[in-house]
Structure 1
């Protein structure tokens, strides 16, 4: 009898514990849902540092049902894009985890998979406006519970970037920040600002472009627009359609991977304001004097350090390059070469930095560089990693044409200046480079008169 009474008392407690431990997950659909077509349904999955891996399904209208959430804290919304096969985004869990590691905030994953999963892309585009209206109403409920519009950050991927823009426009541009990761281009290119994301949709709008020649948007949309690797083809992504679906989505999805890298402290990608990607690669845009002591802006989560000056400047286009995989960031040097050959030389330079058992490589091959006697040729050298203490430098000159005679490049002086770290430039004098042969030398700090 005692055992039965004990179990009777224990049962309600067990039920309550089970209820408390229910974790809501992102909708998992499949291609059949997309073929039939899904009607818009929005689920809001909330996470905090106290429940970083266990989502809570929020009520759209009654936040008093969730007393565990403090709505006066900053809140970040994560909004995905088109889901043609209905599967959950593979990056959403990692992004949530990294955001919570950065700050004590509420993270709300906006699950509109039902509405985004549809082979009819035009129908999904229509749903972006409805999703924007839905989230606007929810944020107004948040305000009633102590939320401040200026403390709201919306991270929108592809179509999610425009959903963020619609929310921001509905709230008169008063939300704090919109981060747009490769905003969708199809059906939005050429449309007026009220039908897409634009800089007036938030107090600060930062945009990344990685697939502007296909699924992404080409023109600037924010206070600052980052064009990774020029904004189109991303290194390491397939170049032909024979690679299957990866060919179609790799460039587009790279935007999220780059943002994740900016969150996890692995490295920093410095971006340079410039009129074009070509001018950037040519080394014509390596000065960031306009930003004062802060220097050039960095891509990603921490760009808010430059927020005030960027808002005053209006729309700013910036460029940076990446490695093929994480860590994606590269290290930039200004490289200056002076030769004493009588004849002009055209060719490519590969530079390697050695130090502490590591090697960093930069190949300057976007076009043949021109070298003239006693004339300083300025180049941008982008290394795949940072070497803190450079002990040796390797150089190789090539013309790219194996049929031509073997040229020699007689280098009078080479100078390397780190663009992201304050330190004395490295120099080396009187080097003979034979075409195709690598030469390794020990650099010295440049004399004061040379920099």
Structure 2
């Protein structure tokens, strides 16, 4: 079926809707194997058992964004944070060859196939005994939209999705609800905004949205304007990884529905909630988070 793909320069637009697909790979990491990845063949009914999957632990599916890959920062920072707890099976989706720079338009098109195949991974887990309440999807940038689009290919929507600065370019203008992350894609959708209005989506996307440090430019991100934007965009991944560590608490204060915003404006009375992995399912609305630091988020 690959003969029908459209290829230009180094870019590929996948025309086939067939899964599994050789350009979309799934890997498993466990607390026992650490950072030694094992590729999962979802056509093999015994793959999970032989690869060390523990059905009693929670599982997370991590999906990278444009010009990314599953084994480079900052996605590895999220992966390692989960592994450090000893409580998760960590699955990663690698679609690197379908989202290389400068092929953003083809990457947008390819998210449809990636979401279909990633939904197949999700169904593979539930078919082998994983509980939907014990699976959540974490996606950065275009990966956040892929997490949301997965629900279109499932019999029931997912339990929880965490969208890390969901991609904005062209998605805001041309992406309808079927091809972007929305609150309808899971019973609980959390979104962390760190470069809202430029590389990341603006305003409310999920059930609970966190606007960090005003939502646009993050402290510690230096250099020219584009590098600052990319650094801020990736900072959502580092903030989320920090929230997984047991000794880190990132607190959100209720605020008005606008992100980006000037820091300190629009705060409202109400109960504060932790941002990230510790956010309660009951949390709703928009929250502002202030994180003062001088470190940027490493990205490859």
TM-score higher than 0.5:
yes
Q: What residue in structure 1 maps to residue 176 of structure 2?
A: 192
**Could you tell me whether the CA contact under 8 Å between 1:72 and 1:145 is conserved in 2?**
no
Q: CA deviation at 1:170?
A: 2.5
Matches within 5 A, 1:281-292: 281-282=264-265, 285=267, 287-288=269-270
Count of paired positions: 278
Give 1:69 deviation, angstroms.
2.0
Cα distance in 1, alignment partners of residues 193 and 229 from structure 2: 15
Change (3 A) 1:66 1:309: closer
Q: Is the 8 A contact 2:30 2:88 kept in 1?
A: yes
C-alpha separation in 2, matches of 1:34 and 1:183: 26
Residue equivalent to 2:126: 143
Contact 1:227 1:318 in 2 (8 A): yes
Answer whether contact 1:75 1:152 (CA < 8 A) is retained.
Answer: yes
Q: Determine the C-alpha separation between the residues in 2 that align with 1:149 and 1:58.
A: 19
CA distance in 2, matches of 1:327, 1:286: 29
- Compare CA radii of gyration and give the structure with the larger one: 1
Match of 2:65 in 1: 81
SS of 2:67's equivalent?
coil
Deviations 1:172-224 (A, max 9, x none): 55322100000000121143222210011111110011111211101311100
Supply the distance in 2 between the matched residues of 1:146 and 1:259 (Cα, whole angstroms).
28
Could you report, residue by residue, the CA deviation over 1:249-301 in whole angstroms, capped at 9, with x for unpaired residues?
A: 1111111111122122343221112115768715x63522xxxxxx4111111
User: Are 1:308 and 2:282 matched, yes or no?
Assistant: yes
Change over 3 Å in CA distance of 1:309–1:97 after alignment to 2: closer
In structure 2, relative to structure 1, the CA distance for the partners of 1:236 and 1:280 (3 Å cut) is closer
Match among 213, 222, 233 for residue 206 of structure 2 = 222
Q: How far off its partner does 1:99 sit? A: 0.6
CA distance in 2, matches of 1:229, 1:194: 30
Counterpart Cα distance in 2 of 1:270 and 1:64: 42
Whether 1:260 and 2:241 are equivalent positions in the alignment is yes
Matched, 1:58 2:40: yes
Distance 2:146 2:190 in 1: 15
User: What are the ranges of 5 or more consecutive residues in structure 1 without an aligned counterpart?
Assistant: 1-32, 289-294, 311-315, 329-451
Distance 1:326 1:119, change over 3 A: closer
SS at match of 1:217: coil
Match of 2:135 in 1: 152
CA apart distance, 1:144 = 2.0
Question: For 1:204 and 1:133, how far apart are their aligned partners in 2?
Answer: 20
Provide closer, same or farther for how the CA distance between residues 34 and 99 of structure 1 changes in structure 2, counting only shifts above 3 A: farther
Do the aligned residues in 1 keep the contact of 2:115 with 2:147 (CA within 8 Å)? Answer: yes
Q: List gaps (5 residues or longer) in structure 2.
A: 1-6, 15-22
